[in-house]
A and B are shown apart, each in its own frame.
Chain A
Amino acid sequence: MLYIHQSTCISPQQTFLEVDLNTVHASSDNKLKVIEPTYEGIPPGILRRMGKAVRIGVGSALPLLKAVSLDGFIIGTANGGMEDCIKFLNQIIQYDEGLLTPGNFVQSTPNAIAGQLGLLTKNKGYNITHVHRGLSFENAAIDAMMMLHEYPSNNYLLGAVDEISAYNYNIDYLSGWYKKEMLSNKELYQTNSAGSIAGESAVMFIVNGDETNAVARLRGIQTLHTTDENSIEKQVNVFIQKHLPDEEKIDLLLSGENGDNRLSKYYTVVESSIGKTTARFKHISGEYATASSFAVWLATQILTTQKVPSHMLQKSGQPSIIKNILIYNNYKGAQHSFILLTKGN
């Protein structure tokens, strides 16, 4: 069983250390970029060499590294240091495969984040990086659940990181995943067009098998590859029956709706199946492959405060008690996940 004990989040909103979810920070040029802290604790020489993905990944994890002795790092990231990757690629082309410096190449490997965390803490335990596009975080979470099943007394850092780089923005823009027209993140759900706005975050959790003082319990997680909304409708019910006892109910649906009119059919079938209060978050996170990790972080906040920030509610009206939260997210209409979180005791 996986319990979440502590968490940190660097996101486009005020979420790192001092949390304020009531103020919505605005997007700019259809992008929601992270608010970066000053990173006390990373040696300046190392910090300078870090690309943004590694920087926010390591920076978000730092406050958690002192808390407990960790047995490993389990990270999900679709692209890792995309900025470094393309910087190196650009050097290859621009200098016609001339003499290049390896810094960007070494930083571009997606496992540079987990590797750097291991290095900083001299941690010789399990160190893994899942890169399965929109299900990178989900696979990392499944991995963490299995590790805790195998080693019930261990502690792991489970996290996810993805950055907006000029390059992945261009590639996803050209593929039609970001909106052509400029809009404010506050009107994301009022649009009726294809695409969403870009986002990024670094989210980290201390997880273990101990329910004492846990913030939340990850009760179940399921990933699906399909483009058929009927299959989603069927599977969400199977998932709830499997993971939620009959006497309990879902109190809140946290929906990954992202303003892309091609994807609303998936969110609609899940909303009608659940028939409970729906809250949305992509207007504060933007869309990216590991946005579901931000949703899990939000869920832990909601379970703790028992309050859903009003701008997240699809219709007004707070649920009275929030014990079970279902997160449904989908990425590019093909990769879907259900995550069930229950309030800790």
Chain B
Amino acid sequence: MSRIVVTGIGVISAIGNTVAENRMALQDGKCGISTLSLLPSKYAGLMPFGEIKITTEELKQKLRATEHGITRTSLLALHAFDEAIKDSQLSHDEITAIDTALIGASTVGGMCLTDELYNDANKNEGGSEYLSSYDCASVNIYLQERYKINGPVNTINTACSSSANAIMFGVRLIKAGIVSRAIVGGVDSLAKFTINGFNALHILSADICAPFDEQRKGLNLGEGAAFLVLEKEEDAANKKIYAEVSGYCNANDSFHPSSLSDEGDGPYLSMKGALEVAGLTADKIGFINAHGTATENNDMVESTAMLRLFGTPPAFASTKSNIGHTLGAAGAIEAVYSILNLTRQEVYAGLNCHQPISATGLVPVQAYKKMPLQHVMSNSFGFAGNCTSLIFSTI
């Protein structure tokens, strides 16, 4: 079985519009979480968010994407998608080939247009230009139409693990011989819908989040997108190869609709399963890009599961303290960050952990450092107990 490798990456987040900008910001320990200035919400002054400070109109102009009914979510996706396919130097013929898949994830889709959706859903005459843009699939259907993609197209929504599952699905499509390459990723933009949803669950922090800190008070929502180009190693012989996607596993915690079990069975099983697929023992993992949302529940459970599986866990940190929790984009953005860990042989500081969780004593990476890495694990856990772990390895 040939190895599945990453030949292109693209990302946009609150700390940068490109892979290079994101990497620089991570190295500098930059935090992109701040007051909302673009999205109108009652919570704008009350809570910080990982907002990308580019207006939707500016994104449309920059991307020359002025199609009818296009949403901020689709624009962010397009931004990262464009960067990834250029980075991989995919030709027009390759993008439109029937053996090229597009697998994306989103949990918000066009619901970022909360007020427009409210009006369209509750009326039976008129209708805005966004009638076909609200569902999660609208993002990938937009990319499919814009790039005339003829191969399989899919959208996955498993809440906060969505784009990790999209990456996994893309790898499996290639391994099954259904396609030769897959462009995989995820996107979400900030929306009143998710802000109010997470606020109703009392898991939004009024302060900038502090993953794995004893005093953590909850998560900050963010927005962003990332895409990766996956190919078979033999097809990428003359290309720049970032890493291999060597392991992946989805498992379910099956404990509660919106929180994880104390034992962390779901996280434990997804991490363990990913090691099995990769054929690695736990001690081979050099760094974990943790889910680390900074909610009381997640960080405790994830720590417990890491302790269960690794005994002494490897170096780990969460980039949620840089960009917030980007929901359907999180798995893909953190996949790009994990790839940066590998290709640059460096790890970035997990910000704001001043007092480790007393029950575990686990301390995330405190400062940027160079470090030899062969295998990096990335965790994404979502509502309904949906847990996915990915492993990226050097070639």
Contacts and interface: CB of A to CB of B under 8 A. Distances in A.
A111 B158 CA distance: 5
Most A-side CB within 10 Å, residue of B42, B131, B173 = B131
A97 B36 CA distance: 15
Interface in A83-130: 85-86, 88-93, 96-97, 99-102, 105-112, 114-116, 118-119, 121-130
Contacts of B118: 86, 89-90, 92-93
Contacts of B114: 89, 92-93
Given A119-B254, A132-B155, A96 B42 contact: yes
Nearest to A99: B200
B157 interface: yes
A150 interface: yes
A89 B200 contact: no
A160 to B, nearest CB: 14
A128 B165 contact: yes
B156 A118 contact: no
Interface residues of B, number: 69
B234 to A, nearest CB: 21
Most A-side CB within 10 Å, residue of B115, B137, B192, B265 = B137
Contacts of B165: 128
Given A118-B385, A146-B172, A102 B258 contact: yes
A174 interface: yes
B365 interface: no
Interface string B35-69: 00000011100000000000000000000000000
Contacts of B256: 119
B132 interface: yes
Given A110-B157, A225-B153, A105 B252 contact: no
B115 A93 contact: yes
A204 to B, nearest CB: 17
Contacts of A72: 252
Interface string B99-133: 00000000100010011011011111111000110
A223 interface: yes
Interface in B122-170: 122-127, 131-132, 134-138, 140-141, 144-145, 149-150, 152-159, 165, 169
A106 B159 CA distance: 10
B196 interface: yes
B223 interface: no
Contacts of A146: 172-173, 176, 178
B385 A119 contact: yes
Contacts of B156: 128-131
A97 B195 CA distance: 9
A127 B158 contact: yes
Given A97-B192, A111-B384, A122 B254 contact: yes
Given A127-B158, A127-B250, A128-B250, A111 B200 contact: no
Interface of B: 41-43, 107, 111, 114-115, 117-118, 120-127, 131-132, 134-138, 140-141, 144-145, 149-150, 152-159, 165, 169, 172-173, 176, 178, 192-193, 195-197, 199-201, 250-258, 265-266, 269, 382-386
Interface of A: 72, 78-80, 85-86, 88-93, 96-97, 99-102, 105-112, 114-116, 118-119, 121-133, 135-136, 139, 142-143, 145-146, 149-150, 166-168, 170-171, 173-175, 223-226, 334-335
Given A126-B252, A139-B154, A142-B173, 6 more contacts: A92-B118, A97-B192, A124-B269, A133-B137, A133-B141, A174-B120
